Chain A
Amino acid sequence: MNSVGRPAFFLAWALSIIWTQAVQAKSVTIDDSGTQALEPAVAMHWKTAVPTRSQAGALMIGTTTIRVRINVLPWLHHSGRIYLALPAQQPGSIGLSWTTQGRFLPGQLQSGNRVLVYSGPIAAPFMEDTLTFQFSVNGALMGRTVPVTYHFEMDED
């Protein structure tokens, strides 16, 4: 039984890998070393002064403004799709919503996901916008300071 089954399994596995690489775009983290935070602090406050009758009212929110400047030189004169990614991270689910000045799209997402902020031609080596971020975290996760990492990434076809 085993000597018959193994080659069949291996073939299916190999085909699966080939198919996946043929259709998936490659994501590359974009250099955003030119980005600046206008406020050095993200102070988290209760979303409501008073809780609800259940613990659903334990949400904390905090706002900060980021002057984004990303280096898209590697994709100059091509079309690209740029995403804002908020990886899944400790201590748990983190919400992020943002507004923009128009260069990028506004949006919102939960940690572990990414959202499209630009799709179109890359006409200049740098793209800039000012984003106002609002983080939201359950107060139960805020027993200590919470570092939150996010980045921009480009999908290559």
Chain B
Amino acid sequence: MPITPPSLQREQTGLTPVCRGVQHRQGRLHRAIAGAVLLSAVSSAASAYTATLTAASPKTIYLQVGVGSFTADYIDGGQPGKNTTVNTVSATIAANVLGSGTAQAMTTNSTATQSYWDGYTYCTVPAQLYIGGFYRTTGAATAAASVTATVPTSLTDATGDSIPFSQIQWTSSGNGDTGAEPFPAGTFVHGGVQNVGSMASNTWNESCWNFSYSNNTVPPAGTYTGVVLYTMSSP
């Protein structure tokens, strides 16, 4: 992050304090006949400081998918931290419903229910996966930060069988929420990078995702896994 050292600068008046005092008194004596000249002289004696303010640490980004780390809730002075946990979202499909076309709800092993902003219980586990964060930056008219998902083509099992990632979708909500979600509902692409949300600068953004499996194919029995990588990019 670039840091430009700020500085304090003084405007040079070119006059000593004593000189200015004399000018001032003379001006009073001759106010009636030389008002315009007096105003000019006082103005040139003006002294002022210019303090140059510079943003020392202008940019910060924080993204949490599943569990995250804060020293405390933000409203209690909490600071964001790093959490390397990789949470899972899964579903076990019974044989008698496999391929029925009825979507099967998925659950997560994430324990994140509360918003680190204020401790509010925002998501419900194991049904919902928390996603949230913020993007700090200076300057006006700043473009939003984007959050993308890098999605493999398929989930695979130990024997090489596969299920397309596009069989998985999600809805988006949050306890007490109204209006549009910053991380809206969607469906994974069949391999590739897709946008899953954005964050306007200097705002806290969060949603709760309910994942489900489309269940309209009949793959061989097995445990299918795949990893989606979420990335936040700031302008």
For residue B116, which residues in chain A have a CB less than 8 angstroms away from its CB?
50
Contact A42 to B202, CB < 8 A, known contacts A139-B138, A145-B6: no
Contact A50 to B134, CB < 8 A, known contacts A42-B54, A62-B53, A142-B58: yes
Q: B176: CB under 8 A from chain A?
A: no
For residue A113, which residues in chain B have a CB less than 8 angstroms away from its CB?
none
- The answer on a CB contact under 8 Å between B52 and A29 is no
Cα separation A58 to B202 with both chains bound (whole Å): 6
Cα separation A151 to B51 with both chains bound (whole Å): 11
A-B contact count (CB 8 A): 163
Q: A99: CB under 8 A from chain B?
A: no
Q: A102: CB under 8 A from chain B?
A: no
Q: Mark B1-13, 1 if CB is under 8 A from A, else 0.
A: 0011111111101
Min CB–CB distance A28 → chain B (angstroms)? 6
Instruction: Please count how many residues in chain A sit with their CB below 8 Å of the partner chain's CB atoms.
Output: 49
Looking at the complex, which one of A28, A33, A44 makes contact with B10 (CB distance below 8 Å)?
Answer: A33
Main secondary structure of the interface of B (DSSP, over half): loop
For residue A57, which residues in chain B have a CB less than 8 angstroms away from its CB?
202-204
For residue A29, which residues in chain B have a CB less than 8 angstroms away from its CB?
42, 45-48
Cα separation A52 to B135 with both chains bound (whole Å): 11
Interface locus among A4-12, A66-74, A103-111: A66-74
- 12 contacts across the A-B interface (CB closer than 8 A): A29-B48, A31-B17, A35-B49, A42-B52, A44-B56, A45-B56, A50-B117, A57-B203, A139-B55, A141-B140, A143-B139, A147-B52
